[in-house]
Amino acid sequence: MKITPPSITLFLSLLVPAIALSGFDCKGTFIPMNLIIEAINADIRKNNGRGKFLENANLILETRDARIHYEHDNDPYWRSWVEYGSEGQVLLVYSSYGECTGQ
Protein backbone atom coordinates (compact mmCIF):
# COMPACT_ATOMS: atom_id res chain seq x y z
CA MET A 1 0.00 0.00 0.00
CA LYS A 2 1.41 3.34 -1.02
CA ILE A 3 1.24 5.89 1.77
CA THR A 4 -0.14 9.20 0.60
CA PRO A 5 -0.84 12.31 2.66
CA PRO A 6 -4.58 11.51 3.03
CA SER A 7 -3.80 8.00 4.26
CA ILE A 8 -1.26 9.40 6.74
CA THR A 9 -3.89 11.81 8.04
CA LEU A 10 -6.38 8.97 8.44
CA PHE A 11 -3.79 6.85 10.24
CA LEU A 12 -2.93 9.67 12.66
CA SER A 13 -6.59 10.46 13.28
CA LEU A 14 -7.07 6.86 14.39
CA LEU A 15 -3.83 6.70 16.37
CA VAL A 16 -4.14 9.87 18.47
CA PRO A 17 -7.45 8.92 20.17
CA ALA A 18 -6.03 5.46 20.93
CA ILE A 19 -3.08 7.02 22.74
CA ALA A 20 -5.35 9.45 24.57
CA LEU A 21 -7.61 6.64 25.76
CA SER A 22 -4.81 4.41 27.01
CA GLY A 23 -3.95 4.58 30.66
CA PHE A 24 -4.49 2.92 34.01
CA ASP A 25 -7.57 2.41 36.18
CA CYS A 26 -6.81 3.01 39.86
CA LYS A 27 -9.92 1.71 41.59
CA GLY A 28 -12.24 3.91 39.54
CA THR A 29 -9.86 6.79 38.87
CA PHE A 30 -8.46 6.77 35.33
CA ILE A 31 -4.92 8.09 34.82
CA PRO A 32 -4.15 8.79 31.16
CA MET A 33 -0.89 7.50 29.70
CA ASN A 34 0.33 10.99 28.78
CA LEU A 35 0.45 11.93 32.50
CA ILE A 36 2.38 8.76 33.29
CA ILE A 37 4.92 9.48 30.54
CA GLU A 38 5.18 13.08 31.75
CA ALA A 39 5.97 11.85 35.29
CA ILE A 40 8.72 9.54 34.00
CA ASN A 41 10.26 12.29 31.86
CA ALA A 42 10.16 14.79 34.74
CA ASP A 43 11.86 12.31 37.06
CA ILE A 44 14.58 11.59 34.49
CA ARG A 45 15.17 15.33 33.94
CA LYS A 46 15.23 16.02 37.69
CA ASN A 47 17.86 13.36 38.27
CA ASN A 48 19.83 14.18 35.11
CA GLY A 49 19.70 10.55 34.07
CA ARG A 50 21.20 9.41 37.37
CA GLY A 51 19.60 6.57 39.25
CA LYS A 52 20.30 4.02 41.89
CA PHE A 53 22.64 1.40 40.53
CA LEU A 54 23.13 -2.12 41.73
CA GLU A 55 26.25 -2.20 43.87
CA ASN A 56 27.79 -5.35 42.52
CA ALA A 57 27.64 -5.52 38.75
CA ASN A 58 28.08 -3.55 35.59
CA LEU A 59 26.15 -0.39 36.51
CA ILE A 60 22.70 -1.86 35.79
CA LEU A 61 20.04 0.72 36.55
CA GLU A 62 17.43 -0.38 39.04
CA THR A 63 13.80 0.55 38.74
CA ARG A 64 12.73 4.01 39.85
CA ASP A 65 9.49 5.47 41.18
CA ALA A 66 8.06 8.77 39.98
CA ARG A 67 5.12 10.69 41.41
CA ILE A 68 2.24 11.21 38.97
CA HIS A 69 0.75 14.67 39.43
CA TYR A 70 -2.94 13.94 39.29
CA GLU A 71 -5.59 15.07 41.75
CA HIS A 72 -8.44 12.97 43.06
CA ASP A 73 -11.55 15.11 43.61
CA ASN A 74 -12.83 13.37 46.72
CA ASP A 75 -9.57 12.62 48.56
CA PRO A 76 -6.89 15.29 49.03
CA TYR A 77 -4.46 12.66 50.35
CA TRP A 78 -4.79 10.34 47.34
CA ARG A 79 -1.52 9.93 45.45
CA SER A 80 -0.27 7.88 42.51
CA TRP A 81 3.14 6.71 41.33
CA VAL A 82 4.69 4.93 38.39
CA GLU A 83 7.52 2.44 38.68
CA TYR A 84 9.65 2.41 35.56
CA GLY A 85 12.67 0.55 34.30
CA SER A 86 16.05 1.59 33.00
CA GLU A 87 14.72 2.15 29.49
CA GLY A 88 11.82 4.31 30.70
CA GLN A 89 9.27 1.51 30.29
CA VAL A 90 6.27 1.45 32.62
CA LEU A 91 6.52 -1.51 34.98
CA LEU A 92 3.78 -0.72 37.49
CA VAL A 93 1.32 2.05 38.30
CA TYR A 94 -0.09 2.24 41.80
CA SER A 95 -2.02 4.64 43.99
CA SER A 96 -2.84 5.15 47.64
CA TYR A 97 -5.49 2.45 47.19
CA GLY A 98 -3.22 -0.17 45.63
CA GLU A 99 -2.06 -1.38 42.24
CA CYS A 100 -3.69 0.04 39.12
CA THR A 101 -4.67 -1.98 36.06
CA GLY A 102 -4.60 -1.16 32.39
CA GLN A 103 -2.70 0.03 29.40
| Prediction pTM value | 0.65
Tell me the pLDDT tens digit for each residue of 41-97: 888 888 765 555 544 455 556 778 888 988 777 788 889 999 998 778 899 999 998
In b/e form, how buried is each residue of 39-78, taking b as 16+ CB within 10 angstroms?
A: bbeebbeeeeeeeeeeeeeeeeeeebebebebebeeeeeb
